[in-house]
Structure formats: C-alpha cells, structure tokens
Amino acid sequence: MSRKKNLRTAASTFAVALGIGFVMQYGDAVASRFQPEQEAKAPVVITPEMVVPEDVVAANSFAIPEAVIEMPADEGIELAALNTTLSEVPAPVFDAPDVLAAPDCSVEMTADGLPMAMVALSVSAPCHPSMAVTIHHQGLMFSELTDEKGDLSLLVPALATEAFFISSFVDGEGAVASATVADLADVDRAALQWQVVHAVQLHAREFGAAYGAEGHVWNAAAREIDFSKKAEEGFLVSFGNPAIENGKFVEIYTFPSGLGLRDGSVALTVEAEVTAENCARDISAQSVQIDSGQEPSAIDLTMTMPDCDAIGEFLVLKNMFKDLTLAAK
C-alpha cells in the first residue's frame, strides 16, 4: 500500500523595504557619448540648504506616470489590506508525489473444487511474468507459463479427495494450495506424464469407437467440459507448454463412470509417434490411474524410440492402463 505524504513548505518571513532614490551624475564617459562636441560639465550636487532655481529643477527631472489601480466596487477590499506583509500570507501546501512502494513479490495460489472432481487452480506471481512454473499434484508434474502479469489459471482434474497442489519457479519461489473434492468417487481417471515434446499420447476409445470416429477421445478431439449439465461422456485435458525447455507434460482422461449411464468399456492406450524431436532418443513416461473409489496405481515406462527414418510411424503401448469396464445402474 502506497502512502501519500503532505510536505509543507514553510515560507520565510522577509522584511521588504521599498524605496526609490535617484542619483544623477554625468561623468566624463557618459557625457562624451551624448555631448561629443561640448566640454564636460561638473555634476550638480543638490544639498538640503540650497535653494535651487526652478529652471534647474525642470532640466534635471522627469515625470513618473502615476499608477492607477481600479478595483471593483463590490469587492469591499480596503487599500490598507494591500500593505499585508509576506509573513502574513499562508505558506503554500504541496502534495508530494506518491512514493512507490517495493512490489510484493510473494507467490499466491488458490484451489477451488468444482463438479466432475475438477479443481480451479490459480497462481499469482507478480514478480514472475511470462515465466515457467511447474505444477505438482499427487506425483504429477507439468510446466506452464504465467502471463505478462505473472498470473496463471487452470482447470485440473483431481487425483485425491484432499487435493494438494504445489507451484514452483526456477528461483525457488512458489506456493501451495489444497481443495476438497467430494465427488472423486464418481469418476474414473487416467493420467499420462512425460518430458520430451510430443513423446507420447493418451487415447481413449469409448464403447468400441474406431480411431477418428465419435467416441475416440485424444488431444485432437478432447471435448470441452460443460459444468452446466451432468457429463455423460469422457473428456481429456492436456497440460505443458512446448515453448519451455525441458518442460513436463501431462494428459488426463476422465469418464463419469459413477453415474452408471450405460454398460460397456473404454479402451485406454498410449501411443508414441516418431518425430524429429524424439527419434532415436530415450523417452520415459508414467501412467497413473484411479478407478472409482480406489487408490491410484502407477506404471513407469522407459524406451528408446526408433531411428529418424521412421518419422511419422506410431508405436502402440497397450499395457500402461487397464481398460475401463462400465455398468449401468
């Protein structure tokens, strides 16, 4: 909070003596300029005892025009008021400019529970604008960028009823927040995390859907979350900014299995596309899965991608997740 200070400047009291005196001398140098052909005369010195002829006075005087001061008749200002000395005039008061307080560089984070076991996560870091921040949650980690004000807002699927989150910056600054998620038992959730850009992808094919058909949910067909109505189908959210060097990425698929809408299954697979960024490189990934009301289970993966002449090909990894088995209620 900035404070405004009023600086009062005390005016010094000045005794002003106003007087007018005239000393008129015509020295040799001055006389020679205005009377070059005449002999310089001695200056005339007037003493109080002397009687000066009127013609001498007239020759050595000049008229001073009388100042005329016009004042509105209804102002009621007496001429005597004009004799006020400067010491009686109130000293002017000036407002000093606001002193800029040092910015508050503390990092703050809030977490609020939402339907579908989601959490509204907000990070405020005014001294970390457009900087990478890592979000931690139940073993998951992903990297995001704050905006130009140092803010970040996300909708994150919770993996625990008491959902705990950490935000951390490279300089060691960070914050923590938690939220209670009451409806976690109503969803099945599968999460995949990795570090190399475009290393792996999570795919969910609901009720026998073919690749590319309705019911095939992945990052190119993720579906939006609509909190205004109950979800009747699955959705996927992705985290991680590819502009961050050595960034971390997460994809999380959610299906509202607790609602018991229909019988069937959801096939969950991990696919790895061979790209210029990951070809001939070792990649690692981890899957985390929670069934309705169950503790999370995790599987780690480390593998070497094919050589770069295989760019564009896909590897399908089927054992990272268990398929979801759904039953209508």
Is 166 contained in some domain? yes
How far is it, in rounded angstroms, from Cα 201 to Cα 218? 8
Is 9 contained in some domain? no
Share of the chain above pLDDT 90, in %: 54
Is 181 contained in some domain? yes
Domain span at residue 188? 108-326
Is 37 contained in some domain? no
* pLDDT over 70 at 239, yes or no: yes
Given this model, what pLDDT does residue 104 score? 84
Given this model, what pLDDT does residue 36 score? 46
* pLDDT over 50 at 97, yes or no: yes
How far is it, in rounded angstroms, from Cα 204 to Cα 253? 8
Is 156 contained in some domain? yes
pTM check: above 0.75? no
Mean of all residue pLDDT scores within the chain:
79
Domain count, the chain: 1
Closest alpha carbon to 165 in 209, 108, 243: 108
Q: What is the pLDDT of residues 118-156, one digit of tens each?
A: 999 999 999 999 999 999 999 999 999 999 999 999 999
Is 42 contained in some domain? no
Is 76 contained in some domain? no
Given this model, what pLDDT does residue 121 score? 98
Given this model, what pLDDT does residue 60 score? 52
